[in-house]
A and B are shown apart, each in its own frame.
Chain A
Amino acid sequence: MSTATAMGPPWEAEVLSRDDETQSLCTLHLRLTDADARAAYRFLPGQFNMLYVPAVGGVPISIASDPEQPQRLAHTISAVGRVTRVLARLSTGDRIGLRGPYGRGWPLDQAEGQDLVVVTGGLGCAPVVAAIDYALARRADFGQLVILQGVKHAADMFWRARYDAWAELPNTVVRLAADQPDHHWQDHVGLVTDLLDEIPLRPDASIALICGPEPMMLAAAKRLVALGISDDRIWLSLERGFQCGVGHCGHCQLGPYFVCRDGPVFPWSEISWLLGQKGF
């Protein structure tokens, strides 16, 4: 692999296109400009890249696209900080830096032959999209696919067309939730974790993939445990202030883990004792 995976300089990446998802969310489709780097680049669902804006800085963003198409990398950006706000204003043809991929992805080998239960909140759907794409590309290798997504306000729901399309697929359950609905909202009103009680669940044959705000992930993991899923079948993707991506800078230190390197995806069995502890 190139030095871009360690602490060397990034590769140059070009914005191929952008999708405006909501008022504060957009997806950038990126392509490495160096042909060799592009040909060599592979990622696993759940991994992330460090996107770097010269003169501004870098930020970790999960890869939200099909792992079979690593030449075209999607990153969904929520414009919150200094760097993401600049990223969110880029347009086709703009160039940035990209390092990666980093981290441990979703346990898709373990999930083979199992039902997949995807529970996400807000922007947490982005890091799981690659896993859904992966499973859909090998549909026969997986059992039932349950996709639950919750948002705070109905207006925050994006990728509606994608959810609608998934809902049409056989052996697939898609349920959406909004805590604060608008008058168009026809799906569940309340928390995404409410939906866990309403889906057909085979505890011994399911792998849960959870991503979202930590309180939501905690609630979902605990509910799934209560529903009989063992804690090594429940996987969560954590977010920390990754800077280096290789466990050197220490910003993602969580108890015994460097989240960027040992995660960002963890089984509940490894982190249940620490997650939710204020200050970690």
Chain B
Amino acid sequence: MTATHFLPRQHLQTLLDQLDALGYRCIGPQVRDGTIVFDRLSDATALPVGIGAHQTPGRYRLEHQDHPRCFAWANGPQALKPLLFAPQERLWRTERDDAGRLSFTSEPQPMQRQAIIGVRACDLAALALQDAHFAGPRADPGYSRRRRDLLLVGVECGQPANTCFCASTGDGPAISTGADLALTELDTGFLVRAASEVGSALCDALPLRAPSDEERAQGAAEIEQARLRQCRSLPGRNLRESLFANLDHPRWDEVATRCLACGNCVAVCPTCFCSTEREQPSIDGSSSTHLRLWDSCFSAEHSYVHGRLLRPDTRTRYRQWLTHKLGGWHDQYGRSGCVGCGRCIAWCPVGIDLTAETNAICADASESAQEAP
């Protein structure tokens, strides 16, 4: 058990300054465009102080609240994914000389190491899955480069949204692994646990004190309350058998009448990893740039095979997404691809609720569900 410290609220800026002094580019949450986004952060006052986030299916609203906290919201549309799995990335550039000879170059961008502040337990669970996908054998060079030297300051989630269900997937709201520092926010400051060598070294440089018993108890109680307040859940942690046994369930047809096949769920999902490659030819014919972009299994090209589409309609596309997310992932990565962040519910323009669809399709599984400890 690592030691728990306390960082008084007025010293939050010291954390940012220390990270800056260590050469980290700090990224943290802030209010923009009616939501919380992660962006360059050097001033703690830019954090979403006194801001709450009200999320329901298909709807997201920030609200001003009367408290000094800056992490009193569950999440925004994105956190770590775009910082590591770039939404658009140049893979290589081709030059063609006059004799028709080709030369290929890929010049990695010089990368300053980054520290991300305010990462949630669900995002850390998603990161572990993205690592398994992109940084395993045949690692993706761009992802690996950005992943290296990444410092993560997690903040436990005390204010789950109506859309959250991380307790059901077993990924939150408390932070167990994956962060260098794990914070629990109280009105007066933060309970701080170091979870890595880098985190410990950082702690040594911060004006920490020992927390009081009341502070410890309050932190634990708030996170426990956050767990209990979650109102959505999946019918089990491994729905692979149930989903693949129900490929002809009428609910697929029904959800297809509500789904826009717009791919917003995929874009905000912190574990979705599909990409597509594109070519940007120069008009003079001498060069071309090969790009990789985020893709979605709701797009036509995703199921294109040699002149035909495997999934021409919304029904098969939605089914592909859900059966992979909650089914195929178990074979590929040893667990479900869902971390319970609820983004796909809040950011679906028509408010389709993954948990409701899953509960309908896997009704047989919910009776015999074996919850992992």
Contacts and interface: CB of A to CB of B under 8 A. Distances in A.
Direct interface between A and B, CB < 8 A: yes
Interface of A: 3, 5-12, 33, 52, 54-58, 78, 80-81, 93-97, 239-241, 243-244, 246-251, 253, 255-258, 273-274, 277-280
B327 A255 contact: yes
Contacts of B218: none
6 contacts: A6-B138, A10-B92, A55-B282, A249-B276, A256-B331, A278-B316
Nearest to B301: A241
B274 A55 contact: no
A279 B244 contact: no
A249 B304 CA distance: 13
Contact of B275 (A58, A80, A250, A256): A250
Nearest to A93: B100
| Interface pairs A-B: 4 shortest CB-CB | A256-B331, A279-B316, A250-B274, A9-B104
B350 interface: no
Given A8-B92, A258-B332, A279-B320, A249 B281 contact: no
Interface string B296-337: 010001111111001100011001100110011011100000
B146 interface: no
Interface string B76-119: 00000000000000011010100011111110000000000000
B239 to A, nearest CB: 13
B332 A7 contact: no
A12 B104 contact: yes
Nearest to B252: A279
B247 interface: yes
A73 B333 CA distance: 34
Given A9-B92, A95-B101, 18 more contacts: A3-B141, A7-B140, A9-B104, A9-B290, A52-B290, A80-B306, A80-B307, A97-B94, A97-B102, A240-B305, A241-B306, A243-B275, A248-B133, A250-B302, A255-B328, A256-B240, A256-B327, A279-B319
Interface string B131-148: 001100011111000000
B332 A256 contact: yes
Contacts of A279: 310-311, 315-316, 319-320
Nearest to B139: A6
A241 B303 CA distance: 7
B39 interface: no
Chain B interface mostly: mixed
A14 to B, nearest CB: 9
Contacts of A80: 306-307
Given A55-B279, A250-B295, A251-B302, A8 B141 contact: yes
A25 B129 CA distance: 42
Contacts of A55: 94, 279, 281-282, 285, 288
B277 interface: yes
A54 B100 CA distance: 11
A239 B247 contact: no
A247 B295 CA distance: 14
B138 A253 contact: no
Greatest chain A CB density within 10 A among B102, B282, B316 is at B102
B310 A239 contact: no
Contacts of A58: 277
B24 interface: no
Contacts of B307: 80-81
A33 B282 CA distance: 24
Interface residues of B, number: 57
A255 B323 contact: yes
Interface in B238-293: 240, 244, 247, 273-279, 281-282, 285, 287-288, 290, 292
A12 B102 contact: yes
B306 A253 contact: no
B125 to A, nearest CB: 19
Contact of A251 (B92, B96, B274, B285): B274
A277 B303 CA distance: 14
B349 to A, nearest CB: 23
Contacts of B295: 249-251
A248 B140 contact: yes
Interface in B28-83: none
B279 A10 contact: no
B276 A251 contact: yes
Nearest to A261: B138
Nearest to B244: A255
Nearest to B274: A250
B199 to A, nearest CB: 30
B275 A95 contact: no
Contacts of A241: 301-306
B92 A249 contact: no
Contacts of B276: 243, 249, 251
A225 B266 CA distance: 39
Nearest to A4: B104
Nearest to B330: A256
A218 to B, nearest CB: 15
B328 A95 contact: no
Contact of A249 (B274, B279, B320, B331): B274
B106 A9 contact: yes
Contacts of B92: 8-10
Contact of B141 (A7, A11, A251, A273): A7
A3 B105 CA distance: 12
Contacts of B91: 7-9
A3 B140 CA distance: 10
A81 B306 contact: yes
A25 B305 CA distance: 17
A273 B247 CA distance: 11
A248 B304 contact: no
A244 B275 contact: yes
